[in-house]
Chains A and B, each alone.
Chain A
């Protein structure tokens, strides 16, 4: 099994550009979520989904959109990139509470 696959691994954007971070899992997990990790701030939840067609906001949702049309995929869209969105982004999936999460290896995004 591939687990949770995130693409791309690295990305540089100019301010104002839009892009989509991809996340796919092959474990048939219902729960999927996106996080950003910044030095001194730890991991923060951006958006999460408890099943196809269902999404909800986390702690820091502004500037990001998500959709969950299939169980396998949970893309994160940056609408208009800003330098404050420079971060490492992680996607994770879980069969559901209280099972733990499988994290992807991350996408390192720099906005200049």
Chain B
């Protein structure tokens, strides 16, 4: 079983600040997905990274996949209140998902 460690568990920042969330594993990811979940809803896919060293951008969100495919990060630039939510990293091994514990991000005005 692949163990995903996500940090920090909780992050509270003000609008306009930057933040970074990390996801690490002791073993190699085949692929890694990042999701955001809002209260009362299911997680929503943000991005999938597959190739070591890959960088993907989604507006103010930047996702990096480590060269060795054992770690990933999500960076949000100039956070907005709409970025508030639970951010999850998920490893997918042919239908069997492993989850990080999640990072609760709260962005205040």
**Chain A positions near chain B (C-beta within 8 angstroms):** 4, 31, 33, 35, 42-45, 48-50, 56, 58-59, 90, 92, 94, 96-106
Task: Tell me which residues from 36 to 62 in chain B have a Cβ below 8 Å from any Cβ of chain A.
Answer: 40-45, 47-48, 50
Contact status A50-B97, CB under 8 Å:
no
With A42-B101, A49-B95, A97-B95 as contacts: A103 and B88 at CB distance below 8 Å:
no
Q: How far is the CA of A31 from the CA of B101 in the complex (A)?
A: 23
Contact status A101-B45, CB under 8 Å:
yes
Contact status B99-A42, CB under 8 Å:
yes
Contact status B42-A103, CB under 8 Å:
yes
| B25 CB–A CB distance under 8 Å | no
Contact status A106-B95, CB under 8 Å:
no
**Chain B positions near chain A (C-beta within 8 angstroms):** 1, 30-31, 33, 35, 40-45, 47-48, 50, 88, 90, 92-102
What is the CB-to-nearest-CB distance from B16 to chain A, in angstroms, rounded to a whole number?
29
Contacts of B92 in A (CB 8 A): 94, 97-98, 100-101
Give the most central of A96, A97, A103, A106: most B CB within 10 Å.
A97
Residue of B with least CB distance to A101: B45
Residue of A with least CB distance to B97: A45
With A92-B42, A101-B45, A103-B42 as contacts: A45 and B96 at CB distance below 8 Å:
yes
Contact status B95-A50, CB under 8 Å:
yes
Q: Which of B33, B40, B96 contacts A100 (CB 8 A)?
A: B33
What is the CB-to-nearest-CB distance from B103 to chain A, in angstroms, rounded to a whole number?
11
What is the CB-to-nearest-CB distance from A45 to chain B, in angstroms, rounded to a whole number?
6
Contact status B95-A42, CB under 8 Å:
no
What is the CB-to-nearest-CB distance from A109 to chain B, in angstroms, rounded to a whole number?
14
What is the CB-to-nearest-CB distance from A68 to chain B, in angstroms, rounded to a whole number?
12
Contact status B31-A97, CB under 8 Å:
yes
Residue of B with least CB distance to A90: B42
Q: How far is the CA of A61 from the CA of B21 in the complex (A)?
A: 30
Contacts of B31 in A (CB 8 A): 97-98
Contact status A33-B95, CB under 8 Å:
yes
Contact status B42-A97, CB under 8 Å:
no
